[in-house]
Amino acid sequence: MLDQATIAVIKSTIPLLESAGPALTQHFYRRMFSHNPELKDIFNLAHQHSGGQPLALFNAVAAYARHIDNLGALAGAVERIAHKHTGFLIQPEQYHIVGSHLLATLKELGGEAVTEEVLTAWGKAYGVLADIFIGREGELYRQQAEQPGGWQGARPFVITHKREESDIITSFVLAPVDGQPVPDFQPGQYLSLKLTHPDLTHQEIRQYSLSDAPNGRDYRISVKREPAGQVSNLLHDKLAPGDVLAVMPPAGDFVLAAEPGQAVVLISAGVGLTPMLSMLNGLLAKGHDAEIRWLHACEQGSLHGFRQDIRDKCDRHERLLSRVWYRVPQDQDRQGVDYDFSGTMALTQVRELLPSNAHYYCCGPLPFMASIKRQLLALGVGDERLHYEVFGPHQDL
């Protein structure tokens, strides 16, 4: 626990943090990668170039300072980040590296305002936070290893099937090379892949949502080709059945938690349908006894993944209803068959199909999810019934 004097000093630095903004964490990452270039094999450098990771870290540091006297308010963020860290195989000793560069960054950018008292307080505060993460991540590593079929670290998996789901989404089925079982996961979770290849400058780790229900034998991920995505293009163009990948255990805190008799609405845009599909398949496999709604938005038919799969499921399950929006339908796209509405998703168009007291799970681009949240709140849906996942560095809606 932190003493009141330390808490007071940390809170006094909030204006300094806010004035520095994400420039603080941009400097931190440049410094860390310069002194510890081996960490480039862990961090997603694409998120560094886009600014997403520095912004996410700045928001986390600022939130920590604001809630330093009530760390319980950060429990959700800690859980989410701890799961992410297990996918990158973060180890306790790496927290010392991060802490040293964080304190050095404060000193280098803060000028005279960053006194020894400030550095001492932030050193104590960082130590408390690091201990929280180290403890929780240790628990997650043990849980992953101790469950039936579980393991810790990287395990070799072979690509057994590769299937195009749309012009930009391809599914990969991965089975363990040793032929042994794999642990179940909670629908909504993701796999972390560790890739090395002559086309890659560094080892790269990427996290992709599991897109099917657990079966104890293998896992399926479905990957969108990003125009400038080194890893997604490698997966689409170079890797094939028979190739072996290093895979970390399933992780993630965005999970389906539907009680029997509880209606569920699954809302997605683009490749955000992947965790929704895992949730849907999990519900159907268990014979969920309440209404399920599948609401999906994409640009047009050629980019619409799993279109026939969802259509077939709706034919077989009377409690499942689907509605689809194409933003810019093409001549070959058939309204009433391939899609229901043109333009962006407007929930007022399906208001009568939304069960009362349903729980809503949402995944897609950040502006899409922010729009859906606003619409649901306007329809009277409480925050406690809204659940969402941001691909990449987390941001609040």
pLDDT at 387 over 60: yes
The model's pLDDT over 30-59, given as tens digits with 9 standing for 90+, comes to 999 899 998 887 876 665 655 567 777 878
Closest by CA to 2, choosing from 121, 136, 130, is 121
The model's pLDDT over 45-99, given as tens digits with 9 standing for 90+, comes to 665 655 567 777 878 888 888 999 888 888 888 899 999 999 999 999 999 999 9
**Catalytic site residue 137?**
yes
pLDDT at 141 over 60: yes
Average pLDDT, the chain: 92
Give the ranges where the chain is alpha helix by DSSP (H): 4-12, 14-20, 23-35, 45-50, 52-66, 75-87, 92-110, 116-146, 230-237, 273-285, 307-316, 366-378
Per-residue pLDDT averaged across 231-252, rounded? 96
Q: Please tell me whether 393 is known to bind a ligand.
A: yes
Q: What is the pLDDT of residue 50?
A: 53
Asked if residues 306 and 324 have their Cβ atoms less than 8 Å apart, the reply is no
Per-residue pLDDT averaged across 20-31, rounded? 87
Per-residue pLDDT averaged across 365-378, rounded? 95
In the set 29, 95, 141, 361, the catalytic residue is 95
**Catalytic site residue 384?**
no
Q: Please tell me whether 209 is known to bind a ligand.
A: yes
Per-residue pLDDT averaged across 335-361, rounded? 96
**DSSP summary character for residue 391:** S
In the set 29, 137, 219, 326, the catalytic residue is 137
The model's pLDDT over 198-238, given as tens digits with 9 standing for 90+, comes to 988 888 999 999 999 999 999 999 999 999 889 999 999 99
State how far the Cα of 226 lies from the Cα of 232, in Å rounded to an integer. 6
Q: How many CB atoms lie within 10 A of CB 80?
A: 16
Q: What is the pLDDT of residue 51?
A: 53
Q: How many CB atoms lie within 10 A of CB 340?
A: 16
pLDDT at 8 over 60: yes
Q: What is the pLDDT of residue 17?
A: 87
pLDDT at 139 over 90: yes
HSE (side-chain half, CA atoms, 13 Å) at 30 = 11
The model's pLDDT over 264-311, given as tens digits with 9 standing for 90+, comes to 999 999 999 999 999 999 999 999 999 999 999 999 999 999 999 999
Q: Please tell me whether 208 is known to bind a ligand.
A: yes
Q: What is the pLDDT of residue 144?
A: 96
Q: Please tell me whether 182 is known to bind a ligand.
A: no
